[in-house]
Structure 1
Amino acid sequence: MTATVEISARETEVLALVGEHLSNAEIGARLFISVRTVESHVSSLLRKLEVPDRRALAQYASKSAPVGGSRTAPVLPTPLTSFIGRTRERAELLAMLEQHRQVTAVGPGGVGKTRLALAVVAEAAGAYPDGVWFVDLVPVTNQDMCVVAGTVALALGLGEQPGRGMDESVLAALADRRALLVLDNCEHVRDGVALFVERLLAACPGVTVLATSRARLMVPFERVYAVAPMSLAGAGDSDAVALFMDRAAASGWPPNHALRDHVAVFCERLDGVALAIELAAARWTTLGLDGLEAGLSDQLRMLAGGSRAEDRHRSVRAALDWSHALLEPDDRLLLRRVSVFMKSFGIGAAAQVVESEKGVVADGLARLAEQSLLVVTASASGTEYRALETIRQYGMEQLDEAGELVDTRSRHVRWCLAEAANLTEVGEGKRARFDAVADDFRAAMSWAADRPEQRTDAHRLARHLADLLFSRNLIGESQMRYEQAAALADDAAAASMLRHAAAAAGCQMRGDDMYRLNRAAADAAHRSGDTAGAARDLATAAANAYRFSSKFVRTLPPEEASALITEARQLAGRDPAALAAVALAEAGRVLTEALTAQPPAADAVPAIACAERAVELARRTGDPLAESAALDTLAGAQSWAGDTFAAAATARQRITLLESASPTPAATHELIEALGEATEAALGAGDLPGARRWARQLAEHPLLAEVGHRATSWLLVVEALAGNVGEMLTHSVRFLEAWQRAGSPAKEILGPAVAGVAMIHDLREDHAARNEWEAVLRRIGASPWHTHGYGAVFDTLAMLHRGQAEEALHRTSPEPGEVWRWVTWIWLHWYAALRAEAAVLAGSPDAGDRLIEARTIVTGNPVAVAIVDRADALLARDRQRLLAIADAFDAAGCRYQSARTRVLAGGDHAASGAAALADLGLAPMAPVVW
């Protein structure tokens, strides 16, 4: 070979390892390159050096190995498993090494500092012609700098020289080298490492040091890179998930790809700590994901592996034992006491729970953070600290072993009480704070609830937590906490908590729970001597069974309801509130008996009189919620009597009454029901703008954010009847997603919304969408309200649009008097008006009679009157009158009927009507022949 032969840096590394008689696979593992790349470099070397085979190449390498200044292959540990992810971290750490001579990768035990450092060093090796050296400091037990230097010297292959210390030998060997020195696991010998590194960098200007440690070295020239847990982004791009899937697959039973979302949640519970994920994945074949999830409550027991060459990585507990042993006694005390916090906490909170001065605690927290035992974050309220879950569980064990658990837990409960009292009501400014401390409240409750000496504090905390959860719209847990507070209280306080729980159950459409809790409240009140309160609760249980029958799974037998009312009347005495509650229950019974009688009772006067008396008695109590409940029953009686406009006025009165009520569970329950009732009443009276206003308030109510099918149902009905196709399509997506997410409940009350959406898709000629919504309607189930009420109205609207007048005539053949039970409230006016129009368009001989009947029924309803007027004009072939009626529809907020009227007018007006229908997103109407 001549001196002109040029060998690349990578080829030099490969040549040196061939000289050590390593296989291509071993060379690839050592240099972090593929076997194919090694083969390519070997072939190039054989050609450049003009040697016949690999044996000759090895002999050449051993003979020509340069002394004292050669490029040396990286002396790095060979990883036994693949390196997963960390693309961003690798790039960031590599950039720091290029710019700074001393970088410390810092992070808690098991987070993956060493593996990240090795991956980065493999990429950076080409920039250090004189070598990359790896030094594991775990075996070093002495802080002395000379001991550290001696360990480095051994890694460099240096021996002792007479009259020279090992530190001097290292400095002399590296003085003129451009090399990278990796010092792994420095936390337990930080002082010695700091002194050694300072001397090394001063004496060896070409040397760069990468250290890994659980605590920074605290030297002025140090640049710290915080190694975070593995990324926990969506399952598709999560490094944590990729690591789990890879290590679990090594067991021979790869997890199904469909489990990635569940694995992502599991890895998040492990805080993305690489060691924890690897140890958990190793138990995948024996525990499965459900078993692993069950073990999260005791991670230290679950996250233990078999024997390992490195004991610190045998289990998470072993890794934490290593860190714990490095702490001073005061810092150990602080760590175990702050472990009661479930999430982040500030210095003030820690001082209260630890029972120490803020300054002392602040210094201790800083030291724990420096040891990577606490995560530090900056917030608007100041610096916050948090222990990763495995560290927190370890600290709790230490707390128990130290005999400090009860006292520390008690102080934590008192801190939670003070925090809860400060929050009282979750407004915009306090929402984030409640979310941050809610898990602490739950943990404090879990501990205190079973301890008799904590009963009073546990009751107070449960009540605060229930109120806050309700304000945060977490209604299910709120109900449970109210019941928990009741179980921890005396009977008088328990009755109050149970009433709140009953109202929360009502907000969730859980009528049977509402009934059970009202009965339990009555029992508690009776035991405490509050007979009037017991009477109110018993009467309320009966009244709610009448008012909210659609929320019940079990229909309350009439004899059971009567027995409740009788007992309530006997206990009420002269208490105004109790008498009002009894009157409301009696009104509900009278109305229900009239509605369910066979044949139905024709006289509504008794029901209205009972309801009016209930309103009067409730008004005397000064309780707006009691009055609202009575008005609800009165509106139902008025609607049944066919007095649509009186029912609408009563519903509006109810809304006005509740506008200023405080947002308690009972008031919120009343308001939600009142908004629905007001929407229905406005639709029945033809007040589409009013109906839309109430329906939007209902759709936007924060309590219904997670139940979009309930929130948007009446808004869908409004938009369908108005013909606002775009708005309806938008809200229907939310409805369907929420309905499916809730398990596709077969709730009859959802029928009008589903039928309305199906009708609009019919008018759009989107047959696939119509079929999808009709399938939903079948899932909800047919009912008389569908057959004769909303179903008849929406079917007739679609038939008339398609020009199927004969079919529409048949669909509305029953007279309003025959189906009055199903078409009152909302649908009576719509049904009568459309029935008249179908008769006219079909040329029915009784069209005139139907017009007269309809006009008598719908007077006062702007939309229904306009439909009847249009039918009359069509019968009289009065085109000019039709145009005036189109304007009336516009004024009433009914865009579809306005466009339809112009098409029916024919001539030039038909074109503008057709254009308006197209703008709405609807298919053309069937042609009309004058």
Structure 2
Amino acid sequence: MSAREAEVLALLGDHLSNAEIAARLFISVRTVESHVSSLLRKLELPDRRALSRLATASATDTDNAAEAPARPAPTRPAPLPAPLTAFVGRVRERAELAAAVQAHRQVTAVGPGGVGKTRLALAVAAELAGGFADGVWFVDLVPVADPARLWPVVAAAVGVGEQPGRGIEETVSAALADREALLVLDNCEQIRDAVAPFLERLLTACPRLRVLATSRARLMVPFERVHPVPPLALSGGDESDAVALFMDRAAAVGWPPGPSVAAGVVALCEGLGGMALAIELAAARWATLGLDGLTAGLSDQLRILTGGARADDRHRSVRAVLDWSHDLLEPDDRALLRRVSVFAAPFTAEAAAEVAGFAPLEPSAVADGLGRLAEQSLLAVAPSATGTRYRALETIRQYGTERLADAGEQTDTRSRHLGWCLTAADALTGPNAHKADTSDRPVRFDALADDLRTALAWAADRAELRADARRLARSLAELAFARKLLGEAQQRYEQAAALVGHDAATTIGVGTGADTGAADLRHAAAVAGCRRLGDDAYRLHRAAADAARRAGNTVDAGRDLAAAATVAYRFSSEFAELPAVDEVADLLAQARELARGGGPAADAALGLAEAAVLADAFGAIQGSSENSAQQTVERAEHAVALAQVAGGPVAESAALDALSGAQSWAGDPFAAAAAARRRIDLLAPLPPTPASTHELADALAMAAGTALGVGRLPEALRWGGHLAEHPLLADAVHHATSWLLITDALAGRADRVLAGSTGFLDAWERGGRPRSLSLGPAAASVAMVHGLRGEHDARAPWLTVVDLAGTAAEHRYGYGAVFDAMVLLHHGDPDAALDRIAPAPEEMWKRVCWVWLHWYAALRTEASVLAGHPDARERITATRTLVTGNPVATAQVDRAEALLDGDVPRQLAAAAAFDAAGCPYQAARTRLLAGGDHATAGRTALAELGLTP
């Protein structure tokens, strides 16, 4: 009779039920029933009552009781294996696993091979050893291939042997029955089916024993507490656990990484997925490969992540670790693992069934197989808004890809993956996609994007799949553009055009309207325009013309050449290197020859190109006659009319832009502002294609700038605000907020300007410090606000930015003169202000953007009055005629004349006009200049604006 049977018999004598005995001994009811049956057989008794009577008699007369044999005593635990390298990081994981072991009798640390389960378990066991009276036993199950050897291996580790008349299972259970100890079972996965019943019997017999197991798969027993072991933490950048481990192991090979490579090491550890073994193997090769070699090797981790001979051969390389896990799988699960390796991003069971569910693997079996792979830690599982998703670490994915090729299944599996990607992309871009709710489109694209890219990369190299690859490239371009990934959108449109092949027209037939990719190149050009890359837009329009010619479509080729010529003039400030004038003139001549008589759209394209070229040429000529100016306006109006006939809002907007420019050079800024506003009305209802989006962003900028030029500050704020909120410019804050900064500065809203200046400067620096007609004045407006506040040290660096972001002429005669004069007048130095804006408006305005003309003239007039210039009254009369219709400039001229006449009521009327025009700074300054009690109100208003009087 075993010790446990004796305990059951004694409790039967106390007339306890099976359930009560199970609770008392911490065992299951089924185990109690088994012991009762065994006692009835051994003692040859008929029923349970006979057992109870025997137990009662045994309590008073020990001579009549069967005496339990003496329990074998285990040896003292051997010391835990001593790691030869320092344990790095995992502070949180150590604490959580230790708490779990203290709270539960059996804990399984689960994770993929190489994640660091053994090291973590040893660290926790060493930490908890003092809390167990009988210590900690460690059992390595790697050598155990035969499940029948489990009990003998544990017996050997515990230090007990088989006894006569007693099996090894009973001996081990008896030896540990009353021990308060921790048993660590390492690497349980290969005999998992044997470990589960072993633990149930052992823990039942040994109520004070606790077990910490490590395994690549959970043991699937009801009393198990699973503790997932994640990869090393990557959060924290160069202070993360993953980087700390790499630095420690790399230093051990004699070449400690310095701070200059910290960012690269962070990226390397991210590429290795935070896997401890992979990081250690990479660090071991640091001295010979360096950061660049290791980074290059991320695309073939199985080759590069190898080490020297190890006591445990499984840890010699990442491949050996994965071989170990792979060999434990059933054939169907091996097939599933290699097939799902084609997924680059987390995937659903439904997607896996579609891609991987072909003979001999049934689609209906895929979901169950995914669960088994996840249990083996070969797939990670994560919930998402669209359901449960699975993913493999990059090393496992690369391993699966190799196995896929070895099995000869790569073409079949990747073809099915390509088909799945095309269907998924069509659901987001097809004709029905825009009818449904698209609010979740960005999330759906993000979940799909990496797979679309992977499928495209594979298909693009296969001639038989070119049509599918092109279709996918177009979808990816559209989706990337919608996601504001403009660089990728341009790349994918160009890739789609390239996938047509130069022989398409020959194959289909010249002159038949063969698709040679011209439409894709036009889309790419529009995206380049959105990116403010004039050179690329020009190149791509010319490439589209070549593609149209190959298809025999000369009219479209002419339109594309006209578009290239238009870009060269219309967006000249966005070129790194402008094409020669003769080159563009030649393009325009070719466009006329090819597109003449080609219909309304062709006429509109030619009309726009000619208007853009002539408007630019007229603007470059100083002192042109009024006749020439009117001819330029008429040419632009003709372009607008042609675009209206062609029925294209984008083309009409572009023509209106040319008209706005012509009207400004003809001296009619109010008409120029009206033309700019009309563009927004045309474009606002359009869907966000690359062409319409580019045109709208430009229209908003022009509307804000022209409104500012005619003194309509509320309108300028409105359009500038829309531009700042434009999703296209989310990563180009400097372009998005420039007109808003300028308008707020001229209105005197200092706090808003300073709040926006940091984002503007950061984005400008990140964008490569570009120049444009709005970036220079935006920087100057920030400098002006600092000047108005008396913060001259803070103003100086912004003046440096002005020199880099704008042009010398604009800074000298345009916005630079305006903002400098405002600062000088604010601080009571009208003589210096007048010197800064000494040239007459008619002498300077055609050197610079007309937007600053009214501001310049009004400030010059005011400075003349305050400085006592003898021509002050003449300048008032001339400026009033020039700025009539501009509410801010007119109020400034009225104030200047009231100051000259000493007419305080008229000064106060000017203050009210400034308030009505949305210019609180000039309203406050007017009251300050009026003196007396009005000056107090002016000082208070300036202080509220964040400015010093």
TM-score (structure 2 length as normaliser): 0.88
Residue 858 of structure 2 contacts residue 892 of structure 2 at CA under 8 Å; is this kept in 1?
Answer: yes
Report the counterpart of residue 687 of structure 2 in structure 1.
Answer: 662
Map of 1:415 onto structure 2: 420
Structure 1 Cα separation of the partners of residues 490 and 643 of structure 2: 26
Runs (5+) with no aligned partner, structure 1 = 1-66, 925-930
Instruction: Output the CA distance in 2 between the equivalents of 1:496 and 1:574.
Output: 18
Aligned positions of 1:396-475 closer than 5 A: 396-424=401-429, 427-475=438-486
Alpha-carbon separation, structure 1, partners of 2:160 and 2:673:
96
| Paired letter, 2:685 | S
1:571 equivalent in structure 2: 594
Q: Is the 8 A contact 2:118 2:214 kept in 1?
A: yes
4+ aligned runs moved over 6 Å, structure 1: 67-71
Alignment of structure 1 residues 62-81 onto 2, 5 Å: 72=76, 75-81=79-85
Partner of 1:697: 722
**Cα drift, residue 260 of structure 1:** 3.2
> In 1, distance between residues paired with 2:349 and 2:90?
33
**1:70–1:130 Cα contact (<8 Å) kept:** no
Q: Specify the alignment match of 1:550 in structure 2.
A: 573
RMSD between aligned residues: 1.6
After superposition, give the CA deviation of every residue in 1:491-542 in whole Å (9 maximum; x if it has no partner).
Answer: 5250000000000011111111101100111111121122221111111111
C-alpha contact (below 8 Å) 1:788/1:823 kept by paired residues:
yes
Residues 154 and 584 from structure 1, CA distance in 2 versus in 1: closer, same or farther, beyond 3 angstroms? Answer: same
Residues 71 and 186 (structure 1 numbering): CA distance in 2 closer, same or farther, change over 3 Å? closer
1:534 alignment counterpart = 557
Contact 2:305 2:318 in 1 (8 A): yes
**Offset, 1:433:** 1.5
- Please give the residue correspondences for 1:13-24 in structure 2 after superposition, counting only pairs within 5 Å: none
Q: Which residue of 1 aligns with 2:613?
A: 589
Residue 448 of structure 1 deviates from its aligned partner by: 0.7
In structure 2, what is the Cα distance between the partners aligned to 1:825 and 1:592?
A: 14
- The equivalent position to 1:512 in structure 2, one of 535, 538, 563, is 535
Contact 1:103 1:225 in 2 (8 A): yes
User: Higher mean Cα deviation, 168-177 or 233-242?
Assistant: 233-242
Q: Any conservation in 2 of the 1:71–1:130 contact (CA below 8 Å)?
A: no
Give how far 1:332 is off: 0.4
- For residues 183 and 816 of structure 1, do their structure 2 counterparts lie closer, same or farther at Cα, with a shift above 3 Å needed? same
Q: Counterpart of 1:481 in structure 2: which amino acid? A: R
Residues of 2 paired with 1:422 and 1:267: CA distance?
36
Task: Report the CA distance shift for 1:786/1:698 in structure 2 as closer, same or farther (over 3 A).
Answer: same
Q: Structure 1: which amino acid aligns with 2:536?
A: D
Q: Percent identity?
A: 62
> What is the correspondence of 1:691-770 to structure 2 with a 5 Å cutoff?
691-747=716-772, 749-770=774-795
Which deviates further from its counterpart, 233-242 or 827-836? 233-242
State yes or no: 1:885 paired with 2:910: yes
> What does 1:223-238 correspond to in 2, within 5 Å?
223-235=225-237, 237-238=239-240
Aligned to 1:231, the other structure's residue is in SS state coil
Q: Distance in 2 between matches of 1:437 and 1:478?
A: 15
| Separation in 2, partners of 1:897, 1:524 | 57
Q: Which of 83, 91, 109 is equivalent to 2:87?
A: 83
What is the letter of the counterpart of residue 473 of structure 1?
Answer: K
Whole-angstrom CA distance in 2 between matches of 1:832 and 1:822: 15
User: Structure 2 counterpart of 1:456, which letter?
Assistant: A
Aligned pair partner of 1:688 in 706, 710, 713: 713
Aligned residues: 856
Residue 556 of structure 1 deviates from its aligned partner by 2.6
Deviation at 1:789, TM superposition (A): 0.9
Shift of 1:600: 4.7
Q: 2:124 matched to which residue of 1?
A: 120
How big is each residue's C-alpha offset from its partner over 1:100-141, in whole Å with a ceiling of 9 and x where there is no partner? 111111000011111111111112112210120000000111
| Kept after mapping to 1: 8 A contact 2:177/2:205 | yes
Could you tell me how far apart the structure 2 residues matched to 1:168 and 1:766 are? Answer: 87
SS in 1 for 2:382: strand
Instruction: Indicate conservation of the 8 Å contact 1:69/1:130, yes or no.
Output: no
Given candidates 263, 277, 285, the residue that maps to 1:261 is: 263
Deviation at 1:158, TM superposition (A): 2.0
Report deviation, 1:824: 5.0
Cα separation, partners in 2 of 1:68 and 1:463, compared to 1, 3 Å: same
Q: Tell me if the contact between 1:72 and 1:129 (Cα under 8 Å) persists in the aligned partners.
A: no
Match of 1:521 in 2: 544
The match for 2:822 is 797
Q: Is the 8 A contact 2:72 2:174 kept in 1?
A: no
The 3-state SS of whatever aligns with 1:183 is strand
For 1:16, the equivalent position in structure 2 comes to none
Q: Is the contact between residue 779 and residue 805 of structure 2 (CA under 8 Å) also seen in structure 1?
A: no
CA apart distance, 1:700: 1.2
Alignment of 1:53-202 (within 5 A): 72=76, 75-144=79-148, 147-202=149-204
How many Å separate the matches in 1 of 2:765 and 2:290? 28
Kept after mapping to 2: 8 A contact 1:539/1:585: yes
**Paired AA for residue 844 in structure 1:** H
> Quick check: 1:580 aligned with 2:584?
no
Cα deviation, residue 258, structure 1: 4.7
CA contact (8 A) 1:629 1:670 kept: yes
- Asked if 1:842 corresponds to 2:867, the answer is yes
- CA displacement at 1:779 relative to structure 2: 2.5
Are 2:870 and 1:870 aligned? no
Q: Distance between the aligned counterparts of 2:180 and 2:854, measured in 1? A: 92
SS in 2 for 1:786: helix
User: Secondary structure in 2 aligned to 1:509?
Assistant: coil
Q: 1:262 to 1:768 in 2, by over 3 A?
A: farther
Kept in 1: contact 2:834–2:860 (CA 8 A): yes
| Deviates most, 529-538 or 869-878 | 529-538
Amino acid at match of 1:482: Y
1:786 and 2:811 correspond = yes
> CA offset at residue 384 of structure 1?
0.6
Do the aligned partners of 1:728 and 1:757 also contact (CA within 8 Å) in 2? Answer: yes
Per-residue Cα deviation, 1:411-470 (whole angstroms, up to 9, x for no partner):
111111111111127943121121111111111111111100110100000000000000
Displacement after TM superposition at 1:95 (Å):
1.5
**What is the deviation of 1:777?**
1.7
Equivalent residue letter for 2:89:
G
Counterpart residue number, 2:243 = 241
Q: Once the 2 structures are TM-superposed, how far is the Cα of residue 863 of structure 1 from its aligned partner?
A: 0.5
SS in structure 2 opposite 1:344?
coil
Match of 1:756, as an amino acid?
S
Aligned equivalents of 1:909, 1:330: Cα separation in 2: 89
Counterpart residue type for residue 600 of structure 2: P
Q: Deviations over 1:640-695 (max 9, x none)?
A: 11111101111110000000111010111100110110011100111111111111
Matched residue SS, 1:254: coil
Equivalent position to 2:662, from 588, 613, 637: 637
Contact 1:71 1:131 (8 Å CA) reproduced: no
Q: 1:73 to 1:175 in 2, by over 3 A?
A: closer
Question: Does the 8 Å CA contact 2:336/2:369 hold for their aligned counterparts?
Answer: yes
Structure 1 contact 638–644 (Cα < 8 Å) conserved: yes
Is the CA contact 2:559–2:605 (under 8 Å) kept in the aligned structure 1? yes
Q: Hey, what does 2:28 align to over in structure 1?
A: none
Distance in 2 (CA, whole Å) between partners of 1:353 and 1:854 is 75
Deviation at 1:232, TM superposition (A): 1.4
Structure 2 residues without counterparts, runs of 5 or longer: 1-70, 505-513
Which of 696, 699, 709 matches 1:674?
699
What residue number does 2:672 align with?
Answer: 647
Cα distance in 2 between the residues matched to 1:262 and 1:748: 38
Distance 1:748 1:168 in 2: 89
Post-superposition offset of 1:75? 2.9
Partner of residue 17, structure 1:
none
Check 1:262–1:747 CA distance in 2 against 1; reply closer, same or farther (3 A cut).
farther
Work out the CA distance in 1 between the residues paired with 2:625 and 2:178: 108
